[in-house]
């Protein structure tokens, strides 16, 4: 075994031991095939885990959206949402994640005629139980872009009402090419007016102009994905100066075809990912999984990709700390989490 391989394995082992945070994580995208099978049984529908897993194979972004819609279709009531929250929390704890901001597709719940309040009450109750186990969960309510601006206002209104229950932010996901960014100004104005933080998916399959619009029109404080920044290096430098983090999810970018699209290539793999270049330009990055079940990944795997892409130990440690620093918890609640991370990093000789 070469010394380089030994150093890589040593760093991966240290990362596994460190307390971690994750900021771009969709609850519904964490539904494993085995859970889909169980949810189907609750409705008298027989679907094997293997059949469910087959639905999680796609080659482009629209294929992913179809799979996401299919899986979410099995979530019918608060008990279903409690189950998937419980299973996600167990997976996070197993990776030593102590803080996560989890995005909930509230816009889809409304579209399906469900009670967001009832579903979220079940989600929140599970989350509270895990605080005793060392995992702090907070929530981002997500509007679906293709449903339009009026639907987004409804999501923002409900999010504002539920802030007392650790709903920290309002976001916008879905197909970023479907509806113009300006249509969502009212929803973001409402959310920010009630003290919610603002996030937005942008520059995933759209160009760098979509990132600019999210920042300038919507007041986004973090950008979901944002890999299109690599196509406009001057604007990437502006993001670095503004300290607006990109929530980068490498496996997701490969699996949805977003990376190939940004690189204008027929296909792309992890080795093509511009993560290292983005970091080296000084852009703040927080590494995440996006939809871990649907992309067959977890946070440890994403940090493994960062190592393979050539990020240095110090770059990875700074990126890990950024996932705590750029979370939306109040400073007094965030500070102990950051200190816990730093203390562990010092014990492991990383800082």
| Mean pLDDT, residues 43-62 | 90
Taking the alpha carbons at both ends of the chain, their separation in whole angstroms is 26
Residue 203 CA to residue 41 CA, distance in Å, equals 38
181-187 mean pLDDT: 98
Strand partners, 225: 202
Q: Residue 326's pLDDT is what? A: 98
Lowest mean pLDDT among 2-16, 89-103, 146-160: 2-16
Q: Give the chain's domain count.
A: 1
Please write the tens of the pLDDT for every residue from 169-179.
999 999 999 99
pLDDT tens track for 94-121 = 999 999 999 999 999 999 999 999 999 9
Predicted local distance difference test score (pLDDT) of residue 3: 57
Is residue 2's pLDDT more than 90? no
Neighbours of 317 (CB within 10 A): 21
With pLDDT > 90 as the criterion, what percentage of the chain qualifies?
94
Gap between the Cα atoms of 294 and 217, Å rounded: 31
Maximum CA extent, the chain: 59
pLDDT in tens, 119-129: 999 999 999 99
Query: DSSP assignment of 305-316, as one string?
Result: HHHHTT--HHHH
What is the tens place of the pLDDT at every residue in 287-305? 999 999 999 999 999 999 9
pLDDT above 70 for 206: yes
In this predicted structure, the answer to whether residue 346 has a pLDDT above a threshold of 80 is: yes
Judged against a pLDDT cut of 90, whether residue 189 lies above it is answered with yes
- C-alpha 40/C-alpha 73 separation (Å) is 10
- The domain that contains 45 carries what CATH number? 3.20.20.140
Going by pLDDT thresholds of 50, 70 and 90, the confidence category of residue 216 is very high
CA distance 171 to 105: 9
Strands, sheet with 97-104, edge to edge from the N-terminal-most edge strand: 20-26, 97-104, 136-144, 167-173, 197-202, 222-225, 246-248, 285-287
Q: How far is CA 323 from the centre of its chain?
A: 11
In Å, what is the CA distance from 66 to each residue of 56, 62, 84, 292? 9, 6, 19, 16
| 94-130 residues labelled b (16+ CB within 10 A) or e (exposed) | ebbbbbbbbbbbbbbbbeeebebeebbebbbebbeeb
Look at residue 157 and tell me whether its pLDDT is greater than 80.
yes
Amino acid 143: pLDDT = 98
Give the C-alpha separation, 37 to 83, whole Å.
12
Residues belonging to the active site = 204
Percent of the chain with pLDDT over 70: 98
Let me know: does 246 contact 285? Beta carbons within 8 Å: yes
| Secondary structure of residue 183 in the 3-state scheme | helix
Report d(CA 150, CA 161) in Å as an integer.
17
pTM of the full structure: 0.95
pLDDT tens profile 242-268: 999 999 999 999 999 999 999 999 999
Range of the domain at 20: 3-347
pLDDT (mean) for 43-63: 90
Confidence class of residue 8 from pLDDT cuts 50, 70 and 90?
Answer: confident
pLDDT grade, residue 9 (50/70/90)? confident
CA distance 314 to 225: 22
pLDDT in tens, 73-96: 999 999 999 999 999 999 999 999
pLDDT band at 1; cut points 50, 70, 90: low
Is residue 139 classed exposed, middle or buried when 0-12, 13-18 and 19+ CB atoms within 10 A define those classes? Answer: buried
pLDDT value for 248: 98
CA–CA separation, 204 vs 317, rounded Å?
25
Over 60: is that where the pLDDT of 348 sits?
yes
């Amino acid at each position: 075994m070469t010394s380089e391989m030994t150093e890589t394995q040593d760093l991966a082992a240290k990362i596994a031991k460190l307390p971690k945070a994750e900021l771009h994580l969709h609850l519904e995208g964490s539904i494993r095939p085995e859970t889909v099978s169980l949810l189907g049984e609750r409705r008298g529908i027989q679907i094997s885990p293997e059949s469910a897993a087959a639905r999680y194979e796609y080659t482009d972004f629209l294929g992913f959206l179809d799979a996401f819609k299919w899986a979410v279709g099995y979530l019918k009531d608060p008990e279903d949402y409690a189950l998937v929250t419980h299973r996600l929390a167990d997976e996070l704890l197993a990776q030593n994640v102590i803080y996560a901001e989890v995005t909930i597709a509230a816009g889809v719940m409304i579209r399906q005629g469900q009670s967001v309040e009832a579903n979220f009450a079940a989600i929140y109750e599970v989350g509270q139980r895990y605080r005793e186990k060392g995992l702090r969960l907070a929530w981002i309510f997500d509007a679906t872009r293709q449903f339009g601006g009026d639907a987004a206002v409804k999501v923002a209104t409900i999010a504002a009402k539920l802030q007392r229950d650790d709903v920290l932010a309002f976001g916008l996901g879905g197909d970023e090419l479907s509806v113009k960014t300006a249509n969502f100004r009212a929803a973001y104005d409402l959310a920010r007016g009630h003290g919610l933080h603002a996030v937005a998916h942008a520059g995933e399959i759209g160009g760098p102009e979509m990132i600019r619009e999210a920042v300038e029109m919507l007041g986004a404080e973090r950008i979901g994905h944002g890999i299109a920044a690599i196509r406009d290096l001057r604007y990437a430098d502006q993001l670095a100066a503004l300290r607006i983090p990109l929530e980068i999810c490498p496996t997701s970018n490969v699996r949805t075809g977003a990376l190939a699209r940004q690189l204008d290539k027929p296909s792309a793999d992890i080795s093509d990912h511009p993560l290292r270049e983005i970091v080296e330009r000084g852009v703040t990055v927080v590494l995440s999984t996006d939809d871990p079940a649907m992309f067959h990944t977890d946070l440890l795997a994403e940090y493994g990709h960062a190592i393979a892409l050539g990020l240095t130990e110090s770059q990875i440690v700074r990126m890990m700390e950024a996932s705590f620093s750029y979370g939306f918890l109040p400073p007094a609640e965030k500070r102990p989490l950051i200190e816990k991370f730093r203390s562990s990093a010092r014990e492991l000789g990383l800082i």
